[in-house]
Amino acid sequence: MRVAVVGVGAMGRIQVDSYLDDDRTAVRGLCDISAEALSEAARRCPEATVTSDLAVIATDTSIDLVSVCLPHVDHVPTATTLLEADKRVVLEKPIAMNCRDAARLLKASSARPGALVVKSYLRHTRSCQLLHAAVADGLIGSPRLVTSSFASLRRDEGVPRWRLRSEESGGGALLDSGIHLIDFLHWTFGTERTVTASLRTDESGIDLDDVVTLEFEHGPLAVITLTQRSNVSGPCFRIEVFGDSGRALVETTPSGEMHFRAEVGTERRPDRIEAGWWLAAHRAALGTYVDRVSRGEPFDEENPEDAALNVATVDAAYHVAAPAGSQ
């Protein structure tokens, strides 16, 4: 199967490597507006067409699948162009910067059902699958409370500039990393009925420290806490679900592992440890999508409608947030 990657920055390079390691895929197109990023990626993919023009990828009828790894502002126009050109599309999260833009993309994808998938990598970790199953199978009883956190370091020197500008990123900690927790909560508990939020922003309006609560209709009260100013290595997160007969959690460790733990009543279940989970989850997600395309099947994984609901929750939180201060 011939694939192309549009945007070969940090995430694009991870996807290129994943496709290069997959016997079923050949990287035949690379697109980026940065000559430097392109030439670095091109060194690893000598057979790829290298271009800064999306139309070259869109009109190449030999390409079956295109990954879009661009700044958030480019997600909707790029994915729309590719869908209209009859491509299968793997879009990085978030589907869009806001609900209005997400609705535009949903319209384009409704003409090609099953052609667009919006990558939600937590669903592809074994630990989060176990946590999801612990709730779905009733292992810990009825879920009452969820506490969750996602901490990352905003490396002002190393972070791409677009992430620091709301016109290009659409938001800060909540849209960028909180959306992973929101996706897990929606996947596990359905849609919330109320959202509250308190955000702390920088001078440009990007939220860096957030507390958001979601109340689920027939499920738990969930608290999401985020910071992009913690001195941690890599994404550092935790999701703990308290049910009326036990609790279960996933938690990352500094050594790059993810742990799943569960207690049912007084019984502690054996811990499950997942090493190298971050890269493995991205690769597992792409492998699943490649499998779909190689079988000629529609994407049955993270669908654009779910991804749009995630953005709707983010929009609601930004809308109701009472500013807790600014720096």
Ligand X SMILES: NC(=O)c1ccc[n+]([C@@H]2O[C@H](COP(=O)([O-])OP(=O)(O)OC[C@H]3O[C@@H](n4cnc5c(N)ncnc54)[C@H](O)[C@@H]3O)[C@@H](O)[C@H]2O)c1
* Site residues, ligand X (CB under 6 A): 6-12, 31-34, 37, 69-72, 74, 92-93, 121, 160, 176
Nearer to ligand X, 33 or 136 (CB): 33
In the chain, the DSSP E strands lie at 2-6, 26-31, 49-51, 65-68, 88-91, 116-118, 143-151, 192-201, 207-216, 221-227, 236-243, 246-252, 257-264, 267-268, 272-275, 322-326
CB of 70 to ligand X, least distance (A): 5
Distance, in Å, from the CA atom of 24 to the CA atom of 294, rounded to the nearest integer, reads: 8
Is the bond leading into 94 cis (omega within 30 degrees of zero)? yes
Nearer to ligand X, 33 or 55 (CB): 33
With CB atoms as reference, the residue minimizing the distance to ligand X is: 9
Nearer to ligand X, 134 or 183 (CB): 183
Nearer to ligand X, 177 or 188 (CB): 177
CB of 242 to ligand X, least distance (A): 27
In angstroms, the first-to-last Cα distance of the chain is 49
Contacts of 133 (CB under 8 A, 6+ apart): 139
CB of 92 to ligand X, least distance (A): 4
For 89-117, give the secondary structure using H, E and C.
EEECCCCCCCHHHHHHHHHHHHCCCCCEE
CB of 309 to ligand X, least distance (A): 17
Nearer to ligand X, 198 or 288 (CB): 288
Distance, in Å, from the CA atom of 174 to the CA atom of 75, rounded to the nearest integer, reads: 17
Nearer to ligand X, 71 or 246 (CB): 71
Instruction: Count CA within 13 A, CB hemisphere, residue 43.
Output: 6
CB of 185 to ligand X, least distance (A): 16
In 143-206, the DSSP E strands lie at 143-151, 192-201
Neighbours of 203 (CB within 10 A): 7
Nearer to ligand X, 166 or 262 (CB): 166
CB of 207 to ligand X, least distance (A): 15
CB of 219 to ligand X, least distance (A): 25
